A and B are shown apart, each in its own frame.
Chain A
Amino acid sequence: MTLEILGITVLWTFLFGYIILGSIDYGAGFFNAYSIITGKDHILSNIIQRYLSPVWEVTNVFFVFFFVGIVGFFPKSAYYFGTIFLIPGSIALILLAIRGSYYAFETYGNKGHKGYAFIYGLSGLLIPASLSIVLTISEGGFIYIEDGNPVLDYWALFISPLSWSIVLLSIVAVLYISAVFLTWYANKTGDLKATNLMRKYALIWAFPLIITAAGIIYELSFHSSEHYERIIDLGWMFGLSFLLWIATVLLIWKQKNYGTAVWLLIGQFTLAFYGFGISHYPYLLYPYLNIYEGFTNQAMAISLVVVFILGLALLIPSLYLLLKLFLFDKNYLQGKQKKE
């Protein structure tokens, strides 16, 4: 494995981590707001708050890791994406800031401001939408070079069915991932009402997910035929992913093994996400930037890998401790106090 491949694999993995954790977080925010508006908040808010509060900062770090890491491994991407990403990036940042401060202002301060909860829930859907634009841009066809600098063609992006398909998929995926996870989490806490409600949401969002995902492959067939062909070559990954989706939905439908359902869901998204990533190889930004041209110098690459390994050695036990205390601790889940 070359350092270039290793670098992009690490980054892709962290982006995947962010997508899963972020989806749970964003979706939960949306369901929280929705339940307040429909007067069902007494059912949901408890489990949502208890899971989210201790981990939201960790979720945020996955995002920071990705954008710092990509500049580290592929400094040229800072130039291309930095220049063109100003508006969607700034909007995503502002929404992220609103969300982050919600935890401080609402959860720790004073509970129950409906307007803020609403903005918070809405921002959870808009952030993935604004961030997913970067995936569209990287397909190529939305950037032209003017005076030696890349410029984003906003109109082409706006009228492109591909960009809307990706936005739609990101929103639906957020709701689906979050609903499946919270079904399991609610079930663990023994909260039957919340489990049933989340289960209902999971089933509602399962079908739009597959339709939008298929829609993207269809759009790609005429937007970028090269990429489309590579996806077809990797057809087995997407096929397997589809089977896992069926299995997840079946388990949730039959109301059993929610834990297995979460793992199947993660497997489904892993296959689809890596399949998409591999099919995009070797481009970061088609056709201007590929991972070989944009890679950093040898010395930096090696030191980044070393720091990465050391960092993981520190992180994995810490993350394990966090999960043990908040996700797998029976007493905490059920809201009881326990002395150790």
Chain B
Amino acid sequence: MLFEDPVLASRFLTMLTLSFHIIYATIGVGVPLMIMIAQWVGIKKNDVHYILLARRWAKGFVVTVAVGVVTGTVMGLQLSLLWPNFMELAGQIIALPLFMEVFAFFFEAIFLGIYLYTWDRFEDQRKHFFLLIPVALGAGMSALVITIVNAFMNAPQGFDIVDGQLINANPIAAMFNPAMPTKVSHVLATAYMTVAFMLAAIAAYRLLRGSNHVYHKKALYLTMKVGLIFSIATVIIGDFSGKYLAEYQPEKLAAAEWHFETEEGAPLLMYGILDENNEVKGEIKIPFALSILAFGNPTAEVIGLNEFPVEETPPLIIHYFFDLMVTIGVFMIVLSLIFWIGIKRGWNFVKAKWYRWLIVLGGPLSFLAIEAGWWMAEVGRQPWILNGIMTVEEAATSSDYVGLMSILFILLYIVLGTGTIIVLRRIFKENPVEKELKIPQGGNNA
């Protein structure tokens, strides 16, 4: 299959590259902010623990950033290699944000290089702190403009097509498309949330593995608090995304919700499975909830999937992705909220082993939610690559060797993935925080 059909192979390879890249991209967007916060708190409170926290996060961050940069480069070039027809058309209208992304990346790269190699060059920690602002800004800007490109693919506008020719191009209108506000804010909020919970998981894990140092407790409390704030933001934006979908891409919402018949006061289906006759089994039905999600009104009419031609409906599998994403999101809010209240009120169970294991679990779960969310968003606009304008079939390359290249890239991602894990483990295992705290101002470069 993979070797016969360039369209399928191109889809597979793109999915593989993106799924791998977004792990590192999420870290790349979120960690600079967390380092910034830790270093800020450290300077404000004059607490060496937070400075050390920033420093140790930065150390691990370099490893992930390098892999993020290379997989991002791969993705950037693969767009043209695998989807040449798409890039020929879309390049005329969406090149602007792509171009801006490069500049944001450039900006970030320069200051990250400076930040990482100047730990010992400034007497005043604040000078060093200021270098982080362009890094975090650049990372956020890259995420912002690259998500605009994706939003454009979901809601193309800013041009007309007459006889197959693109005319009346308006690059600015293309960027500020209807999908853009919810997409961009959701991507940013989830990236910050995920990274906060990832760092929380690390702190909780260290506490479980014997180290009872106050450093880890501070790290845990800080990251859980930041995670809580961003997970609440995520839910609010997620609700807006639902309303966006109901208005502009109703077929995606309907497929994600297995909502077949157009009706008023539509219920929301959670979980369940779909049998061969498209009958839903074992679901939890929440009355009126879908109408509320879609229009903020329990009796509003929600368009069902049956209204769309079969060849234009997305695969129904996205319901599972949607469930996974929402369930994890809600779980993380509850987990971090209870933790936060628990610390304030002195509930002892939030310091218990089982609770800390749940926090450890929260790290990988958050990444799973990120993946599931992207799969839902991307599979949910099948069969289109440019919604309503160009299908993935028309966009893919005609070259025969995509299947073969896919195998090479699978090998590459295995090497990069295991390499990351091995190197990160080595950096931190050989250098536990207790050891580093004994050297008052020492440490090597980066």
With A58-B110, A108-B62: A100-B81 Cβ-Cβ less than 8 Å: no
Could you give, for residues 275-305 of chain A, a 1 whenever the CB lies within 8 Å of some chain B CB and a 0 otherwise?
Answer: 0000000000000000000001111100110
On chain A, the number of residues with a Cβ less than 8 Å from chain B's Cβ atoms is 71
Is A142 among interface residues, defined by CB-CB distance under 8 A? no
Partner of A311, one of B59, B103, B172, B401: B103
Contact check, B99 vs A55: say whether CB atoms are below 8 A apart.
Answer: no
Partner of A75, one of B63, B95, B101, B170: B95
Could you give, for residues 97-110 of chain B, a 1 whenever the CB lies within 8 Å of some chain A CB and a 0 otherwise?
Answer: 01111110111011
**CA distance in complex: A93, B77 (Å):** 8
Is A156 among interface residues, defined by CB-CB distance under 8 A? no
In the assembled complex, which residues on chain B have CB atoms less than 8 Å from the CB atom of A214? none
Is B78 among interface residues, defined by CB-CB distance under 8 A? yes
Closest to A317 in B: B110
Contact check, B100 vs A96: say whether CB atoms are below 8 A apart.
Answer: no
In the assembled complex, which residues on chain B have CB atoms less than 8 Å from the CB atom of A53? 113, 117
Contact check, A93 vs B63: say whether CB atoms are below 8 A apart.
Answer: no
Q: Which of B116-152 contact A (CB under 8 A)?
A: 116-118, 120-124, 127, 134
Minimum CB–CB distance for B393 against chain A, Å: 14
On chain B, the number of residues with a Cβ less than 8 Å from chain A's Cβ atoms is 79
In the assembled complex, which residues on chain B have CB atoms less than 8 Å from the CB atom of A93? 73-74, 77-78
Closest to A85 in B: B81
**CA distance in complex: A108, B102 (Å):** 25
Could you give, for residues 88-117 of chain A, a 1 whenever the CB lies within 8 Å of some chain B CB and a 0 otherwise?
Answer: 011101101111110111001110000000
Partner of B63, one of A69, A73, A104: A104
With A58-B106, A67-B80, A108-B63: A307-B113 Cβ-Cβ less than 8 Å: no
Is B169 among interface residues, defined by CB-CB distance under 8 A? yes
Q: Is the interface of A mostly helix, strand, loop or mixed?
A: helix
**CA distance in complex: A99, B84 (Å):** 26
Partner of A108, one of B69, B167, B415, B423: B423
Instruction: Report the stretch among A22-30, A190-198, A239-247, A319-327 that lies at the interface.
Output: A319-327
In the assembled complex, which residues on chain B have CB atoms less than 8 Å from the CB atom of A83? 84, 397-399
Partner of A96, one of B73, B87, B415: B73
Closest to B89 in A: A75
Please list the residues of chain A having a beta carbon within 8 angstroms of any beta carbon in chain B: 53-55, 57-58, 60-61, 63-65, 67-69, 71-73, 75-76, 78-87, 89-91, 93-94, 96-101, 103-105, 108-110, 147, 149, 296-300, 303-304, 307-308, 310-311, 314-315, 318-319, 321-322, 325-326, 332, 337-340
